[in-house]
A = this chain, B = another copy of it.
Amino acid sequence: MQAISIEGGVTAAQGFLASGMYCGIRKNKSKPDLALIYSKVPCAAAAVYTQNLVKGAPIQVTRRNLADSIAQAVICNSGNANTCNADGEQKAQMMCEAAAKALHLEPEDVVVASTGVIGQVLPIEPILEATPKLAESLTEDGSADAAKAIMTTDTVVKEAAAEVTINGKTVRMGGIAKGSGMIHPNMATMLCFLTTDANIAPAVLDSALRIAVKDSFNMVSIDGDTSTNDMTAILANGLAENDPIEEGTEAFDLFTETLRAIAIRLARMVAKDGEGATKLLVCKVTGAASDADARTVAKSVICSSLLKAAMFGADANWGRVLCAIGYSGAPVDIHRVDVGFASRAGSIEVCVNGAGIPFDEEVAKKVLSEDEIDILVTLHDGNASASAFGCDLTYDYVKINGDYRT
């Protein structure tokens, strides 16, 4: 039985509610900055975090709160990362306490996250004041409101959800994400909150999450900068009443594949909405000797500033693709590499066996003028493949980041 995509995001699964509002952290009052996600019953929970040695205070607190693998709510603000501040953990703890009080939970059952400027003291009063109102406004339709409230320089709401039959029961899962800049997750991810009504033990949920993240968020790069606050958390409340999903079973594969598909959809949205981006770039590597080689090559290509700028200009400068493969660190035989470009407008081969071939520049321009571009790399070295997700480098990236704090 295949999974099917459904409408909605973090409230698509049974028993989950969400809300978002403006509380006063941002100067711009039209941009909501506080989100709440809540499950009617306690959930098995798992999370992965940034591998940056600088870790945001909310990550330290969430890690402690998830030590028992149980959670029932998520509170998240945008506009301030609450990182590199002396009182960071205290403030993150206060956010958990505020959410717990409003929802009649224990603070240890709350996941807390923050995103925004690093190194500015988090104003806690607006959050404490707004949280009771946020709790009152929780609804089953609140996913988009929560998704909006966690956005920073994101320009579009990122939600995805799917439904699948597991062990005879309908299981739903979905999530929201934010990305935009400082996006180059390493064994973790930008902010993403996933929910499911599946009945699944925490350890099994954790395995499924790690598999899903590996091919999705960990293959995204906007600018090569691994953030201090990356986090993906998943809550599973069991309301689907399926028999527990065990590792090594068909049910686990089905659950994980569905979760992975949702994570990839969200990862694509994050990449396409990178700071200043006008295009989603997907580097699809095939014919690699190993999974690791395929991933290394795909990520190296997607991270090349030169290639990203060329893609902005719809310039089929494939030499930059080859160059990025050459310095990736993967042991590739460069004389066997083929490169092509593809999009809705068609496809074109530009390099065979590591050397240029004549191609129609006008066709190439047309292919590269779409807003979703596949960069096709064939290594002729084995059977492994991988895809990485990135975006073009534009004037607006420079503009946004030239004066982000003001």
The chain A residues found within 8 Å of chain B, CB to CB, are: 51-55, 81, 83-86, 117-121, 181-182, 184, 186, 223-228, 303-306, 309-310, 312-313, 315, 317-320, 322-327, 331-332, 334, 351, 354-356, 393-395, 397-406
Contact = CB atoms under 8 A, between A and B. Distances in A.
Given A323-B226, A327-B226, A334-B54, A315 B402 contact: yes
A49 to B, nearest CB: 13
A315 B395 contact: no
Contacts of A320: 118, 182, 225
A225 B308 CA distance: 11
Given A55-B326, A228-B326, 13 more contacts: A52-B327, A53-B325, A54-B322, A84-B322, A119-B322, A181-B306, A182-B320, A225-B323, A309-B400, A310-B402, A310-B404, A397-B398, A398-B398
Contact of A186 (B309, B325, B327): B327
A227 B319 CA distance: 10
A283 to B, nearest CB: 15
B327 A402 contact: no
Given A52-B326, A355-B84, A223 B402 contact: no
A112 to B, nearest CB: 19
Nearest to A88: B355
B395 A318 contact: no
Given A306-B225, A326-B53, A401 B313 contact: yes
A221 to B, nearest CB: 10
B224 A303 contact: yes
Contacts of A400: 309
B323 A228 contact: yes
30 contacts: A51-B327, A52-B323, A53-B331, A54-B325, A54-B334, A83-B319, A84-B354, A84-B355, A85-B355, A117-B317, A119-B318, A119-B351, A182-B306, A182-B320, A184-B327, A186-B327, A224-B305, A225-B305, A225-B323, A227-B323, A228-B319, A228-B322, A228-B326, A305-B305, A310-B404, A315-B402, A315-B403, A315-B404, A394-B398, A398-B398
A53 B351 CA distance: 16
B402 A313 contact: yes
A81 B319 contact: yes
Contacts of A406: 315
Contacts of A405: 315, 317
Nearest to A399: B395
A254 B334 CA distance: 41
A53 B86 CA distance: 46
Most chain B beta-carbon neighbours within 10 Å: one of A305, A331, A404: A305
Contact of A54 (B305, B312, B323): B323
Per CB-CB distance, the 7 closest pairs between chain A and chain B, nearest first, are: A118-B319, A313-B402, A54-B326, A309-B401, A119-B356, A226-B327, A52-B326
Contacts of A331: 53
A296 to B, nearest CB: 12
Most chain B beta-carbon neighbours within 10 Å: one of A224, A304, A322, A326: A326
Nearest to A323: B228
A227 B351 CA distance: 18
B119 A324 contact: no
A402 B400 CA distance: 18
Contacts of A81: 319
Contacts of A315: 402-406
A48 to B, nearest CB: 16
